[in-house]
């Protein structure tokens, strides 16, 4: 054993190695085997394990890519291949870059002109509840901002440890961030029977359970939910705000899926609801709200750009925020530009508007999708209200559970592994997100094109019927 291995920081050592890595590796192998001509019941792997839209076949928006290309290589602006509004936008953005180059560093919080645009967007989105540019920080992805806020909030040498309340189920990256900063995780369970509703009684129970174990300082919510696909009502958000105010918790609101709302529900940001609740709450509750260019309709994960808006933080604390964000210079400039394009799209009458507006029309309706899933024996699935994922519950036959346990696998991981092997579909098991003891789920992205989703449903149905038969 090397000396270094003994020395590795225990927080890092405790970071959970995702079991999904094995599945991902196998998917890559299968792709390679298919390339080598190996015969399987399918000719390609459908990967719906992440919310990576471009990887799943979505075409990027021309307007976005044209502006980015023009900013990178301004000589393009002399050509007549690019629409006028693309050139105008690129000129404005380049003018805001130091040395008129996207190769320069920017201010730690982002290019002031773009940060200003973000604040205007937020104010518009939130029905006039004001957003201030000095409260916004752009970062390489929203998760990066979440980690920075956790660094601020979590005292990793305190005893008892600093606790953070997080939902079950919760996507894995936030769990990893919490482990890395040395936080104690305080789980609260979303109510699956009620469509993954966030219930305040459960928050109270969770807080109570932490007594004597850790010192909770923050509550993390994700709305629309990932993987749960629920959307909180205004009333539900009000209840949460009331709760954090009473308990003096910092509120971390992950709202990266805010554009994806289906059915009758409406998206309300925590910032808006807080603002509209009025004083004293609107002047006191400390809130961080996160958004991203990866998860919106842009789907530009590879650019790595997100932002956080901070509300009601003490100026002395904001100085620490500045220090944390300035340490890594700045977010990628092209990602900053993508955020500008995301919040300020072409308007009716602009040359790029017609093409831009066709976005998203080719998706399968989530209602149809859950209907198909629910028609399969052993599956039960709440309507997806928002977000990028469906998270159906899987009622596995006892024989399948025994078989999985014998193989040293979580039962839903066993199911996903078979689905990949036999159906050529890569999904993620519920065990990656946390779930009530004895329940099993799978998560998959619902945003790929109709063609892909129809093929996926076909393969899932056929695989599942066989699986249930094999283990009945």
On the 0-12 / 13-18 / 19+ scale of CB atoms within 10 A, 342 is buried
Q: Is 364 in the site for its own copies (CB under 8 A)?
A: no
Residue span binding its own copies (CB under 8 A) among the ranges 140-148, 356-364, 374-382, 455-463: 140-148
Nearer to its own copies, 68 or 115 (CB): 68
Minimum distance of its own copies from residue 335's CB (angstroms): 7
Given phi > 0 = left and psi -120 to 50 = alpha, else beta, which region is 202?
Answer: alpha
Q: Which is nearer to its own copies, 231 or 240 (CB)?
A: 240
Alpha helices in 99-233 (DSSP H): 112-125, 142-153, 172-180, 200-210
* Interacting residue with its own copies among 27, 48, 53, 426 (CB under 8 A): 53
**Position 36 contacts its own copies (CB under 8 A):** no
One residue of 27, 46, 154, 166 binding its own copies per CB under 8 A: 154
Residue 379 vs residues 66, 100, 192, 236, 397: alpha-carbon distances, Å: 44, 55, 14, 28, 11
Q: Of residues 109, 119, 135, 180, which one binds its own copies by CB under 8 A? A: 180
Told to check if 145 binds its own copies by CB under 8 A, we report: no
141 or 366, CB closer to its own copies? 141
Helix axes 112-125, 333-343, angle to 10 degrees: 30
User: Among 461, 264, 459, 457, which residue's Cα sits nearest to residue 368?
Assistant: 457
Asked whether position 72 contacts its own copies by CB under 8 A, the answer is yes
Query: Which two three-digit tokens encode residue 134?
Result: 């000095």
Question: Is 5 a binder of its own copies (CB under 8 A)?
Answer: yes
Q: Which of 215, 221, 130 is nearest to 171 (CA)?
A: 221
Number of residues that bind its own copies (CB under 8 A): 90
Binding mask 86-115 for its own copies (x = CB under 8 A): -----------xxx-xxxxxx---------
Q: Which stretch binds its own copies (CB under 8 A): 46-54, 237-245, 260-268, 412-420?
A: 46-54
Residues shown for the chain = 472
Least distance from its own copies to the Cβ atom of residue 301, Å? 5
Report the residue from 17, 36, 43, 80 that binds its own copies according to the rule CB under 8 A: 17
User: How many CB atoms neighbour CB 22 within 10 A?
Assistant: 13
Give the position of tokens 């019927």. Answer: 465
Phi, psi of 340 (to 5 degrees): -60, -45
Which residue lies nearer to its own copies by CB, 15 or 468?
15
- Residues 83, 66 contacting (CB under 8 angstroms): yes
Q: Supply angle C-alpha 361, 364, 365, rounded to 5.
A: 95
CB 442 within 8 A of CB 427: yes
Among 54, 91, 116, 204, indicate the residue that binds its own copies (CB under 8 A).
54
Q: Which helix (H) or strand (E) holds 414?
A: helix 411-418
Which residues, numbered 265-304, are part of the site for its own copies (CB under 8 A)?
Answer: 286, 298-304
Taking CB under 8 A as the rule, does residue 43 contact its own copies? Answer: no
Closer CB to its own copies, 25 or 128, in the complex: 25
CB of 197 to its own copies, least distance (A): 29
Which one of residues 26, 132, 173, 351 is an interface residue with its own copies (CB under 8 A)? 173
**CA-closest candidate to residue 103, choices 413, 329, 289, 311:** 329
Smallest distance from its own copies to CB 227, Å:
17
The one among 32, 44, 328, 451 contacting its own copies by CB under 8 A: 328
Q: Nearer to its own copies by C-beta: 36 or 329?
A: 329
CB 313 within 8 A of CB 286: yes
Residue 70 or 198: which CB sits closer to its own copies? 70
The residue within the footprint of its own copies, chosen from 314, 406, 437, 438 (CB under 8 A), is: 314
Could you say which residues in the range 369-398 bind its own copies, by CB under 8 A? none
Contact 269, 126 (CB under 8 A): yes
Label the pairing between strands 46-47 and 425-426: parallel
Among 123, 155, 233, 242, which residue interacts with its own copies (rule: CB under 8 A)?
155
Assess 358 for contact with its own copies (CB under 8 A).
Answer: no
Interaction residues for its own copies, span 215-274 (CB under 8 A): 217, 248, 250
Query: For residue 103, how many other CB atoms are within 10 A of its CB?
Result: 10
* Residue 310 contacts residue 274 (beta carbons within 8 Å): no
Q: What are 168's strand-pairing partners? A: 189
CB of 64 to its own copies, least distance (A): 9
């Amino acid at each position: 054993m090397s000396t270094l291995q003994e020395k590795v920081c225990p927080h890092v050592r405790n970071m959970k190695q995702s079991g999904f890595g094995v599945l991902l590796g196998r998917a890559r192998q299968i792709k390679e085997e298919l390339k080598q001509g190996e015969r399987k019941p399918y000719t390609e792997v459908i990967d719906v394990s992440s919310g990576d839209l471009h990887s799943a076949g979505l075409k990027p928006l021309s307007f976005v890519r044209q502006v980015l290309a023009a900013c990178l290589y301004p000589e393009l602006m002399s050509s007549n291949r690019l629409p006028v509004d693309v050139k105008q936008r690129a000129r404005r953005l380049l003018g805001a870059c130091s040395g008129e180059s996207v190769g320069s560093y920017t201010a730690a919080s982002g290019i002031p002109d773009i940060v200003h645009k973000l604040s205007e967007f937020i104010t518009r989105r939130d029905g006039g509840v004001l957003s201030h540019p000095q409260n916004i920080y752009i970062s390489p992805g929203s998760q990066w901002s979440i980690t920075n806020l956790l660094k601020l909030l979590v005292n990793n040498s305190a005893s008892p440890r600093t606790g953070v309340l997080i939902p079950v189920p919760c996507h894995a990256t936030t769990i990893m961030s919490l482990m890395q900063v040395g936080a104690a995780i305080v789980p609260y369970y979303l109510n699956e029977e009620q469509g993954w509703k966030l219930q305040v009684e459960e928050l109270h129970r969770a807080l109570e359970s932490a007594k004597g174990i850790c010192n909770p300082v923050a509550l993390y919510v994700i709305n629309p939910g990932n993987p749960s696909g629920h959307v909180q009502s205004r009333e539900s958000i009000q209840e949460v705000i009331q709760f954090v105010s009473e308990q003096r918790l910092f509120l971390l609101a992950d709202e990266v899926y805010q554009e994806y709302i289906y059915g009758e529900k409406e998206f309300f940001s925590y910032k808006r609801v807080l603002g509209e609740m009025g004083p004293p709450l609107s002047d006191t509750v400390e809130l961080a709200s996160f958004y991203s260019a990866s998860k919106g309709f842009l789907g530009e994960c590879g650019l790595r750009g997100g932002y956080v808006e901070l509300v009601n933080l003490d100026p002395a604390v904001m100085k620490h925020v500045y220090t944390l964000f300035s340490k890594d210079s700045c977010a990628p400039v092209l990602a900053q530009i993508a955020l500008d394009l995301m919040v300020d799209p072409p308007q009716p009458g602009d040359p790029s508007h017609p093409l831009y507006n066709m976005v998203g029309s080719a998706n399968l309706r989530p209602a149809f999708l859950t209907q198909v899933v629910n028609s399969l024996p052993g599956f039960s699935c709440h309507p997806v209200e928002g977000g990028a994922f469906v998270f159906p519950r899987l009622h596995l036959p006892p024989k399948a559970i025994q078989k999985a346990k014998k193989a040293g696998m979580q039962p839903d991981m066993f199911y996903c592994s078979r689905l990949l092997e036999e159906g050529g579909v890569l999904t993620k098991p519920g065990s990656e997100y946390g779930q009530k003891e004895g329940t099993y789920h799978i998560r998959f992205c619902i945003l790929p094109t109709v063609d892909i989703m129809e093929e996926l449903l076909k393969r899932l149905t056929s695989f599942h019927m066989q699986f249930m038969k094999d283990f009945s």
